[in-house]
Chains A and B, each alone.
Chain A
Amino acid sequence: MLDVEQRWELIDKIAKRTIKFGKYRHTLQDAIAEITVKPLTGIPIAIAVLYGFWAFFVAFARFSTDGFLVKLFDMHWLPWLQEVFPAGKESWLYYIFVGDPLAENCFEAFGMLTSGLFVVIGVVLPAIVAFYLVLIVLEDSGYLPRLAVLIDTVLHKIGLHGYAIVPSILSLGCNVPACTACRILETKKQRFIMRTILAIFIPCGAQLGIMLKVIPETVGWVILYLLAGYFILGFILSRIVPGESPELLLDIPSYQRPTFSNVGRKLWVRTSSFFTTAIPFVLLGVIIINVLHLTGVIDWLATGLGPLLSGWFGVPKETVGALIVAFLRKDLAVAQLSAIEMTKYQMVTSVVLVSIYFPCIATFVMLLKEGGVKGFLGSLAALVATVFLYGGLLHLIWILLGVA
């Protein structure tokens, strides 16, 4: 053991050999990197970034969907198809593929080749492209990992950590790749919580696109309500699910300019892989739901579940059809809701129900694949409980506000 003096003497020697002054100069880039992670300055900046994200998404979706694709589908594709479709207007083939012969737009026709194609190409494609474009730019520039560190503390409360922001934001595009992205989390518990809350509460890009179309004025509130649910359920699950929630140790790269070729390549890979999984499901979904309609199954279910829907959730019993479609594609379900007559508040409840109710079948498969049978059943249990409590809560809010 050294005495105090000897120790300081040693430190002096070490310091002389290792510490130098006045060589390094802070650059503007370093200073900017610093203020983007300090909470006081970082949070306002994060708000601006997320605002830009959202504003770009909305403008892009409006431009392509409302500006061009709606016209293409409603004024050219639909009339042409209604004219040339070989089977008669009364036949079941016509019903399945073209839908309502009197429909004037593809949104409400509900045939596989009308609504199905319109949703995939007219609504989802632009949303997904816009979404991934911004996400990739944020990722490549180095902002995303910093955002993760910034909100680390908040996400700790729900048993996750900052990087859970990646599957969460990704999920706003599509839940399917988001489920895969949950693998970056460290433990089974974290992955389970993440998969469950994102499958239940985060609306995908397709849904967002349709929400903007169906309930443009209230979409902000709906998202806020869903976001609150995301934290509440996460908080509960992190308390009751056994296991550990360790930190993910991240590499924080320095800021850099994203390259064109990299962004382009990633955008292509993600968009195309989304489409190969999504298109078959949407089209199949429309077929199945139309068959169920034709065979009377939906009417039967609507009568059976009607009291539950109108009593507990306060929405019209016709909503059951949309809820069944929701199992296949949520985007389609929200679209279908717009055809049912109801009040603004019932519409909000229905949209929320559709969002938190069963994830689309593709996500369903992913939950099973990533979580195994046990994890899958756990997610399912959380889901059923959530739908009843959270959907009912919304009805209660309307009653308390006196608008139900």
Chain B
Amino acid sequence: MRILLMGHPNVGKSAVFNRLTGARVTESNYPGTTVDYTKGRVRIEGDSFEIIDVPGAFSLEPKDKAEEVAVKMLEENKEAVAICVIDASKMERGLYLALQVIEKGYPVVIALNMWDVAQDKNIEIDVKELEDILTVPVVPVTAISGEGIRELALRIKEASLVKIEKIIEKAGN
């Protein structure tokens, strides 16, 4: 199984990637482009998975080369699980991409990164409620200190396919 790490630029995606992967991270160039991406392995409860740090993208309607690569990578890995890294203090923007990935039919785990920064800004997110609506695992993470990373990894296996209609229905009530 492959894990794709998706998210906007500057949401600490690489920090999450570094916390999850060990040594032996390889950086390569996506064929035919100038876009680089990194690939590593993560070991969760004895099983080893490949994890790809997908280039930062705001949405899946590509507007630049990096976003094009992100979309292509998603399409090339139909069986992958996606970790959507979201800046917790700007959750709405990040959710946009996460919803798109869910709609495309990928199992998703959401990492609410920079949780400490959100707390500084006195933003409080009801994680339970969010999980309930989205029906995917949502984990608060502070990648820089490593807080929450373990839980994020352990909950990857809980990711499952969700119908967008179901989310709409739940959000409606």
Whether the complex brings A and B within 8 Å at their CB atoms is answered: yes
Which A residues form the contact surface with B (CB < 8 A)? 1-2, 7-8, 10-15, 17-26, 30, 33-34, 37-38, 145-146, 149, 152-153, 156-161, 186-187, 190, 238, 244-252
Tell me, in angstroms, the Cα distance from A7 to B99 when the chains sit together.
Answer: 8
Residue-wise interface mask of B (134-152) relative to A, using a CB-CB cutoff of 8 A (1 in contact, 0 not): 1000000000111101100
B16-24, B67-75, B76-84 - interface stretch: B16-24
User: In the complex the two chains form, is A33's CB within 8 Å of B145's CB?
Assistant: yes
User: Judging by beta carbons under 8 Å apart, are B44 and A249 in contact?
Assistant: yes
How far is B99's CA from A33's CA once the two chains are assembled, in angstroms? Answer: 33
Shortest 3 CB-CB contacts between residues of A and residues of B: A246-B43, A245-B23, A37-B145
Q: How many A-B pairs with Cβ below 8 Å?
A: 134
Q: Mark B9-36, 1 if CB is under 8 A from A, else 0.
A: 0000000001111111100000000000
B64 at the interface (CB under 8 A from A): no
Chain A to chain B contacts (Cβ below 8 Å), 20 pairs: A2-B99, A10-B99, A11-B99, A14-B133, A14-B134, A14-B171, A15-B91, A15-B95, A17-B171, A18-B126, A18-B129, A149-B146, A156-B22, A156-B23, A186-B43, A187-B43, A247-B43, A248-B22, A251-B150, A252-B146
Q: How far is the CA of A26 from the CA of B123 in the complex (A)?
A: 11
Residues of B in contact with A (beta carbons under 8 Å apart): 18-25, 41-44, 48, 91-92, 95-96, 99-100, 103, 116, 119-120, 122-127, 129-130, 133-134, 144-147, 149-150, 153-154, 164, 167-168, 171-172
Q: Which residue of B lies closest to A193 (CB)?
A: B23
Interface of B is mostly: helix
Q: Give CA–CA (A18, B99) in the complex, Å.
A: 16
Please give me the residue from chain A that is nearest to B117 by CB atom.
A34
Distance between B24 CB and nearest chain A CB, rounded to angstroms: 5
Q: Are B103 and A2 in contact (CB under 8 A)?
A: yes
Q: Is the CB of A244 within 8 A of B119?
A: no
Among B24, B42, B127, residue most surrounded by chain A Cβ atoms (within 10 Å)? B24
Q: How far is the CB of B100 from chain A (nearest CB, A)?
A: 7
Instruction: List B contacts of A19 (CB < 8 A).
Output: 91, 123-126
Chain A residue with Cβ nearest B152:
A249
Q: Are A8 and B24 in contact (CB under 8 A)?
A: no
Inter-chain contact B126/A20, CB cutoff 8 Å: yes
B128–chain A nearest beta-carbon distance, Å: 9
User: In the complex, are the beta carbons of B23 and A160 less than 8 A apart?
Assistant: yes
Contact A1 B103 (CB under 8 A): yes
Which residue of B21, B41, B42, B133 is within 8 Å of A18 (Cβ)?
A: B133
* Nearest CB in chain B to that of A248: its residue: B22
Residues of B within 8 A of A21 (CB): 122-124
Asked if residues B24 and A247 are in contact (CB atoms below 8 Å), the reply is no
Q: How far is the CB of A258 from chain B (nearest CB, A)?
A: 20
Q: Determine if B122 and A157 form an interchain contact, defined as CB atoms under 8 angstroms apart.
A: no
Cα–Cα distance between A149 and B143 once the two chains are bound (Å): 10
In the bound complex, CA of A251 to CA of B141 (Å): 12
